[in-house]
Amino acid sequence: MSAKKMNSLQAVNAALHQAMAEDDKVIVLGEDIADREGGGVTGATAGLSTKFGDDRVKSTPISEQAIIGAAIGAALAGYKPVAEIMLMNFTAVAMDMIFNHAAKLRFMSGGQSTVPITIRTLTGAGWQTAGQHADHLEGWFAHTAGIKVVAPSNPVDYKGLLLSCIQDPDPCIFIESAGSLFIPADVPDDLAPIPLGKARVVQEGSDVTIISWSSQVIRCQQALAPLAEAGISVELIDLRTVSPWDKEAVLASVTKTGRAVIAHEAVRHFGPGGEIASTISEELFGQLKAPVRRLGAPYSPVPFAKVLEDAYIVSPDQVVETVKALMA
Amino acid sequence: MAELSNAPAPTPDQLVDIYRRMIRIERNDDAIRKTIRLGRLVMPYYSARGQEVIPATLSSLMTDDDKICTIYRGIHDMVAKDMPLRPLWAEIAGRVDGTCKGKGGPMHLTHPESGVMVTTGIVGSSMPIANGLAWAAKLDGSKRVTIAYFGDGASNIGAFHESLNLASVWKLPVIFVCQNNGFAEHTRYENGTSVDFIAKRAIGYGMPGHTVDGNDPLAMFAAAHEAITRAREGEGPTLLECKTFRFHGHVLGDDDKYMTKEEKAAAIAKDPLPAFKTWLVEQGHATEESLAAMQATIEAEIEDAQEFGLASPLPSVDELRRDVFAQEIPA
């Protein structure tokens, strides 16, 4: 079986090429995405318009409501649109279309309408893009019934999960996060779509379960060696899909370890870690050896100054300290 | 009655068909309001009484394959598009036989078989989605057209401007139909809108814009014919501003304190229904008897739909777990 070494953006590009080649109902739209405009600001859509034509791959004006609206309408007529909202903060401009329409049309129509759109969007701290270009807003979307929230951490999952989002009958938001974009890995050419809602065990262990997703998984992986040196056996779970989340896998792991830490790049205050922590506490109260802990960004906008940005992101050291404290 | 020079005149059959759609809207609206007042229906109701001519005329030029996206004041648009009334009544009553199994209600009535693709409760939101339906028609190589209905207030929200621009850049087969009833909720047109005619805004987006007397079937027919033909022939979008009046305020029960009694009475005196009926008979396109028979058939259809809807069972609470996603959410 052949494989290619690629980073996560290249994996996105490969998934889009594959999905468009396999299904002519797959169409792509967004700002600057056609080759005439450079194939996307990150190059994620490079080559698509040349290969599949300007009708199926359309650059748009800077009009996020119009982008998502066009995706919804085309989906209602049988297409599988992949819309790019360049940065996750810009979803705020299209929130009516996403939240009131894409997510709800199936339910409000009693199942007559189906909105199989995928919204690809980039975000994440680390590039000093400050307060309006880097928020991890998965909690907003996870709180809305009717939309799936997918947040991969590595090139294989970027490709496999994006293929699943595109073919999924419901709207999906696919988060491409700065901290996870440029770490290459071997991605099989014939990779099968990775099912949504299924977590991946990154490392098995018996003392503590760490639950994470997106770029934060990488910072949790960096904590694994020092924790092993300290004699702590960590089970690291990459949730991959934030909503619907793999409750079964998480509860099975915490049943085994009796301790849980949830780490995410999103703000901790009212963040998605709260939902997971409370579910663990409700389901496994008698079996827990320590309180469930949550790690997330402080209650602050994403800052500009490097020293502040570094402090904003949950570091591998914080993960190590938190796990050690749980074991003490 | 004004006519655009290059549009063909409607045939007598087309004129009678427009009247049929108008009277079906009006009789249905009357039945809904009476049923609400009797306490047999509990729903927020945004009556479109007075606005019948606009969708009746446009629908007379649409095929079953053509699509509409409409808004909370939109039951007239659906009835004009020949949505069957039984599932409509079951839906507004919140029953299982409703178009949406009672889960959408009057503000989200959907019936793709009739081309009613989206009904939105968010001002301005019909337009971005209509663009996508029109894009799909282009991709399909189909000549079908999509209409986005909205009110005058919606021309001040961002979605209107984004949508007109995109439709023009992509040359989409879509018609933006503004039903300008003079009030954005409670705010008088000139207190919320910067131009005297909304159609002028089309200039800014490089598309034709026409202001039409939305209570005049002949003027509406000419404008609708031109816009629909333009869309079908792949020449791009049109903005139609159709001036009209809503007889029952923003929401049923509102006390209209934002206008004078005289102003309202004068507007209602221009009710297009009796005027058009008289004109049809005077012109020899129909007789009093034929129109009375048509009305009786429609009233029987409405009575049947009302009984059917109100007798339909209530939905099971299990419906809360269905249609959130394609796959049912486990209990």
Among A168, A188, A208, the domain-final residue is: A188
Report yes or no on A244 lying in a domain: yes
Same domain, A13 and A140: yes
Q: What is the DSSP string of A94-161?
A: GHIIIIIIITTHHHHTTTS-----EEEEEE-SSSS-GGGS----HHHHHTSTT-EEE---SHHHHHHH
Q: What are phi and psi of B127, to 5 degrees?
A: -75, -50
Chain A residues with beta carbon closer than 8 angstroms to that of B135: 58, 70, 73-74
Same domain, A161 and A301: no
Whether residue A70 and residue B140 make contact (CB cut-off 8 A), yes or no, is no
Whether residue B110 and residue A61 make contact (CB cut-off 8 A), yes or no, is no
Same domain, A30 and A166: yes
Q: What are phi and psi of A28, to 5 degrees?
A: -130, 135
Among A188, A214, A232, the domain-final residue is: A188
Predicted pLDDT of residue B2? 39
Report yes or no on A121 lying in a domain: yes
What lies within 8 Å, CB to CB, of B208 at 6+ separation is: B202, B227, B230, B238, B239
Predicted pLDDT of residue A45? 98
Same domain, A131 and A10: yes
A113 CA to centre of own chain: 25
CA atoms of A190 and B297, how far apart (whole Å) = 62
Same domain, A36 and A107: yes
* CATH classification at residue A261: 3.40.50.920
Judge whether B220 and B147 are in contact, CB under 8 Å: no
Whether residue B99 and residue A65 make contact (CB cut-off 8 A), yes or no, is no
Chain A's closest residue to B168, CA to CA, is A61
From the list A27, A100, A108, the residue facing B100 with the nearest CB is A108
* CATH classification at residue A114: 3.40.50.970
Report yes or no on A306 lying in a domain: yes
pLDDT per position as a tens digit, B197-256: 999 999 999 999 999 999 999 999 999 999 999 999 999 999 999 999 999 999 998 888
Chain A residues with beta carbon closer than 8 angstroms to that of B98: 110
Q: What are phi and psi of A121, to 5 degrees?
A: -150, 140
Predicted pLDDT of residue A287? 97
Chain A's closest residue to B171, CA to CA, is A55
Predicted pLDDT of residue B255? 80
Predicted pLDDT of residue B3? 43
Q: Is the peptide bond before A244 cis (omega within 30 degrees of 0)?
A: yes
The residue among B323, B304, B296 whose CA lies nearest residue B89 is B304
Same domain, A235 and A151: no
Among A188, A215, A231, the domain-final residue is: A188
Same domain, A163 and A253: no
CA atoms of A166 and A34, how far apart (whole Å) = 19
By CB neighbour count within 10 A (0-12 exposed, 13-18 middle, 19+ buried), where does B300 fall? exposed
CA atoms of A18 and A15, how far apart (whole Å) = 5
Q: What is the domain range of residue A321?
A: 200-327
Report yes or no on A47 lying in a domain: yes
Chain B residues with beta carbon closer than 8 angstroms to that of A66: 128, 131, 159, 162-163, 165-166
From the list B100, B163, B326, the residue facing A110 with the nearest CB is B100
The alpha carbon of residue B134 is apart from the nearest alpha carbon of chain A, in Å, by 8
Report yes or no on A195 lying in a domain: no
Predicted pLDDT of residue B5? 55
Chain A's closest residue to B144, CA to CA, is A77
Report yes or no on A11 lying in a domain: yes
In which element (H, E) is residue B57 found? helix B53-60
3-state secondary structure at position B120:
strand
Predicted pLDDT of residue B4? 52
In which element (H, E) is residue B307 found? helix B288-311
From the list B103, B138, B166, the residue facing A110 with the nearest CB is B103
Q: What is the DSSP string of A253-319?
A: HHHHHS-EEEEEEEESTT-HHHHHHHHHHHHHGGG-SS--EEEEE-SSPPPSSHHHHHHHSPPHHHH
Per-residue CA distances from B155 to A219, B107, B212 (Å)? 48, 20, 16
Judge whether A185 and A150 are in contact, CB under 8 Å: no
Judge whether A113 and B104 are in contact, CB under 8 Å: no
Chain B residues with beta carbon closer than 8 angstroms to that of A71: 132
Scan residues 29-58 of A and list those with Cβ closer than 8 Å to B: 55-56, 58
Whether residue B125 and residue A69 make contact (CB cut-off 8 A), yes or no, is yes
Same domain, A208 and A133: no
Predicted pLDDT of residue B254? 86
Judge whether A111 and A163 are in contact, CB under 8 Å: no
Chain B residues with beta carbon closer than 8 angstroms to that of A169: 325-326
Same domain, A48 and A156: yes
CA atoms of B297 and B302, how far apart (whole Å) = 9
Per-residue CA distances from A254 to A153, A200, A258 (Å)? 22, 14, 5
Ranges under pLDDT 70 in chain B? 1-5
The alpha carbon of residue B256 is apart from the nearest alpha carbon of chain A, in Å, by 29
Report yes or no on A193 lying in a domain: no
Same domain, A36 and A133: yes
Residue reference for tokens 């027919």: B221
Judge whether B232 and B174 are in contact, CB under 8 Å: no
Ranges under pLDDT 50 in chain A? none
Query: Could you tell me how many CB contacts below 8 A there are between chain A and chain B?
Result: 149
From the list A108, A111, A114, the residue facing B108 with the nearest CB is A108
Same domain, A54 and A107: yes
Same domain, A12 and A153: yes
From the list B98, B136, B322, the residue facing A77 with the nearest CB is B136
Q: How many domains does chain A have?
A: 2
Q: Name the amino acid, one letter, at B255.
A: D
Predicted pLDDT of residue A133? 97
pLDDT per position as a tens digit, A37-60: 999 999 999 999 999 999 999 999
Report yes or no on A15 lying in a domain: yes
Predicted pLDDT of residue B230? 97
Helices (H) and strands (E) in chain A, counts: 12, 14
Chain B's closest residue to A100, CA to CA, is B122
Strand order in the sheet with A293-297: A200-203, A234-238, A208-212, A260-267, A293-297
Q: Name the amino acid, one letter, at A293.
A: R
The residue among B69, B64, B71, B73 whose CA lies nearest residue B25 is B73
Hey, which residues of A are catalytic here?
Answer: 133
